[in-house]
Structures are given as structure tokens and as C-alpha cells.
Amino acid sequence: MSGTGRTVLVTGAGRNIGRACVLALAAEGFNVAINGSSDRAACESVARAAQAFGVSTLVVMGDVGSADECRRIAGETLDRFGAVDALLNNAALRPNKPFLEMSEAEWRRVISVDLDAAVWLSRACLPGMLNKGWGRIVNFTGMNAIHGHAGRTPVSVAKHGVWGLTKALAKEFGSKGITANAISPGPIAPDVEEKNASAQARQEILSRVPAGRMGAPKEVAAAARLLVSDDGAYINGQMIQVNGGAET
């Protein structure tokens, strides 16, 4: 297993895509640091499920919207495992609010979680990756980063920024055995918004997906598993779209 003896830190890991990524990488032998912002019980549940694969786990709660908290989260993971070999920046906020009604605080909050967190966590984890000459950074963008989204201006801006960050890191550190890539999920179930959506809204979403269905978190995790593996060493600076063929 390509993850044996290695450690991955996954943010927003208590449910959905984050949870699926933890379990997929635990199955590959990665020790896992599981970050969440508030629901410790969910993160503990993910940890127990990961332990069934015989790996070590750490639940490290914290708000990745704070640079200090990002450094603490990475530091606790380093203290426990000695390294962060792979970093999955999955945590995100996706509020809906008209552009002209958004406050400065609301703007800053989304940017801090959806973009700045990837910056500060990458800065905290990269020195160890450089020392080992091996590392993987996987950022999550989404269709907001490709199309833009009415009512989600800060999300669209942040996710565009994450894509730019990914490409820049790929170029700066690619010669050091470190890859940086992005995953862009399409409509994925289960999702709170999908559960609460009307039948008409769900049909509208599915009409844009040639596969004719919502994706599953494990299908996104499969892409992450490849990107952090030894077999993924020559994939660098790319955005992998896991979206059932949705128009991009």
C-alpha cells in the first residue's frame, strides 16, 4: 500500500467528501489526521472507521479560517506523526447571499476558510515534505471555480484562487518530489443542499450531468487516492474534474 508509513491531514473530514477521503487513504495504509471545526463526534466516528484498516488516527479540531489555528492543527499532526506527507484542503463554506447584501465580515470569512486555509496549511506542511523529498497537496475547487455562481461570489473568487495556488505550488515545488493538484467535484450526494432541494431543483441539476445521477463521495475520494499515491507522481498542476461529464 502506497500510504504505509505515511500520514495525511484532511480538513473538513467529518462527513461527505472529507470522510470518504479519510477512509480511502486509510485503506491505502495512511495514518490520518482528521480535522473538523465543530462536530467532534462526527470526526471521532470517522477515526474509528479508519482504525479498522489498522492505521493510527488523530482527531484535531480547529477553525481553518484562522492562520494561527492552521499552524496549530499542522503542528499537532507533526507532533503526533512526525510528518504530514499529504495534505487535503477540503474544508469549505458555500453560503448563498446576493453580492450587494454581503457584509465585509461575511466576505472575509469565506475567503479565510475557502482560500487562506489552503495557503497557511500548505506553508506549515511543506517544510517537512521538502525534507523528505516527497509530498502531495490536493486542493478542492468545484464548479464554482469554473463557471462562477450567482449568489456565491466569495466562494467563486476563493475557489478560483485555490486553482491559482495549486498551479503555482506545482511549479515551485514539482522538482522537489512534491505535487500539487486540484479536484473539482460536480454535484455530489449526500449533500445538505441536495437533500433540501426541491424535486425541480434536483432535476435541473441532473439535466446538466450526462451521467444522469449525482456522484458519490467515494468517487471523489478515488481521485484523491490516485493523486496522493506513488503512481500519481507525474500528475502535477492539474484539475481533475469528477463531475459525471457536466459541462465545464
Rounded Cα distance between 38 and 57, Å, is 18
Task: Look up residue 149 and give its three cell numbers.
Answer: 455562481
Q: Bridge-partner residues for 182, per DSSP?
A: 139, 239
Annotation: CATH topology of 7-242: Rossmann fold (3.40.50)
Q: Where residue 29 falls among pLDDT bands split at 50, 70, 90?
A: very high
pLDDT at 248: 58
Q: What is the pLDDT of residue 208?
A: 81
Any residues with CB less than 8 A from the CB of 48 and at least 6 apart, and which?
Answer: none
Alpha carbon distance 222, 233 (integer Å): 16
As a whole-number percent, the residues of the chain with pLDDT over 70 amount to: 94
Q: Are 179 and 86 in contact (CB under 8 A)?
A: no
Cβ contact 77:34 at 8 Å: no
Q: List residues bridging with 8 in a β-sheet.
A: 32, 86
Is the full-model pTM beyond 0.75? Answer: yes
Judge contact between 1 and 25, C-beta under 8 A.
no
Q: What is the DSSP letter of 31?
A: E
For 9, counting Cβ atoms within 10 Å of its Cβ (0-12 exposed, 13-18 middle, 19+ buried), the class is buried
pLDDT tens-digit map of 119-138: 999 999 999 999 999 999 99
Cβ(71)–Cβ(47) under 8 Å? no
Helix (H) or strand (E) holding 164, with range, is: helix 153-173
- How high is the pLDDT of residue 192? 41
Which sequence spans correspond to the domains of the chain?
7-242
Give how far the C-alpha of residue 4 lies from the chain's centroid of Cα atoms, to the nearest Å: 21
Pairing of strands 239-242, 7-10: unpaired
